[in-house]
Amino acid sequence: MAKTETLRSRVETRKRLPLTIRNYQSAINFLNSATNYEKLTRIGYNPVNFSLARMNRLLAALGNPHKQFKSVHIAGTKGKGSTATMLACMLTNSGLRTGLYTSPHMIDVRERIQLNGEMIPEPEMTRLSAKIAGVMRKLGNDSPTFFEILTAMSFLYYAEQEVDVAVIETGLGGRLDSTNVLKPEVCGITSISFDHMAQLGNTLEKIATEKAGIIKPGVPVVSAHVPVAGFGRVHKECRGAGAGQGRGDLAADVTGLAHAHHYHASLAGKDQLAGEHEAFVDAAAKLFDGFGFQLDGALRGVDQLAALAHRGRGRSIKRARL
């Protein structure tokens, strides 16, 4: 039933496509007309609802923007958004033109698509929405979802802006996630624990299998602390793909370096500030030597992490007496 309903809703999406997108509100209306799995309480986790083929068709019609920039792809249960934000902050402050794609948003949907710490401007989102809507009219009834549209939009934006690198966080799982069309420079897997069990499975090994689905042949992998049950699966996926693996919790990357730096970010909470995530960022940063990224530059960026803010993630808003 879930499969039928979601397919029907994607057909309805195509019927509801606005004729023109001329302003920001019409762009928001366009996005809200799409099937949004983030708002559904029950959704079948399968290649029909979460279709990489559908995502690839959309991207091909847009000129395959995801193949036009370097990227870091991050999956995990806890800390992936904060880790992605920390890494993007470090890269930006090291002089790289850096994109950051995270989800969900707290207030403004533009929070998801950032460039050098700034949200995508409203006129850019309007223009790209019109471009994507025009393509969708030609793709048939199997219309992209809300998340797929935003993912494609972020890829278009980063390609057009000629970023040096984009840090991309998965939405749900990894294997079937619409971001999993990338061939990144580095894959990252943060901590793995029980989440979205109805979709990803009821054991750590099953959940780790879905997260490890982002691992690509020949692409280095950095992992934070992964429970023993999940780590075996991640390690197996690395071996099968011919990808080296570095344990962030051991402060070691795939080149065998072992040196941790202690960062002091304004993100609060043990999940955000655990040494495993700090070491993860350090290990991932060291892998950028392949395209001219220097560790000294990364360390200069570390000083800026004190001003880092990831909206809605473990931040103290107001203290009040009870």
**Token pair belonging to 222:** 């950095």
As given in the structure block, the two tokens for residue 260 are: 């941790």
Asked if residue 171 has pLDDT above 60, the reply is yes
Structural domain including 228 reads 2-307
Range of 115-124, 241-250, 268-277 with top mean pLDDT: 115-124
| Range 14-27 average pLDDT | 79
Alpha-carbon gap, residue 56 to 59, rounded angstroms: 5
* Rg, Å, the chain Cα set: 19
CATH of the domain at 217: 3.40.1190.10
Mean pLDDT, the chain, whole residue set? 74
How far does CA 210 lie from the centroid of its chain? 15
Asked whether the whole model's pTM tops 0.85, one would answer no
Q: Is the pLDDT of residue 131 over 80?
A: yes
Task: Give domain status of residue 315, yes or no.
Answer: no
Position of tokens 């000129």?
63
| 318 occurs within a structural domain | no
Q: Tell whether the model's pLDDT for residue 266 goes beyond 90.
A: no
145, part of any domain: yes
What mean pLDDT do residues 117-144 have?
A: 93
Read off the pLDDT of residues 62-86 as tens digits, 9 standing for 90 and up. 999 999 999 999 988 777 888 898 8
Tell me if 153 is assigned to some domain. yes
For residue range 196-218, what is the model confidence (pLDDT) as tens digits? 544 554 576 677 778 788 988 88
Is 86 domain-assigned? yes
Counting the structural domains of the chain, the total is 1
Residue 114 inside a domain? The answer is yes
Average pLDDT value for residue range 169-173: 88
Q: Does residue 313 sit within a domain?
A: no
**Which of 128-137, 210-219, 248-257 has the highest average model confidence (pLDDT)?**
128-137
Q: Mapping DSSP to helix (H, G, I), strand (E, B) and coil, where does residue 171 land? A: coil
- Both ends of the chain: CA-CA distance in Å? 47
> Is 142 among the domain residues?
yes
* Residue 187 predicted with pLDDT over 70: yes
pLDDT of 287 higher than 50: yes
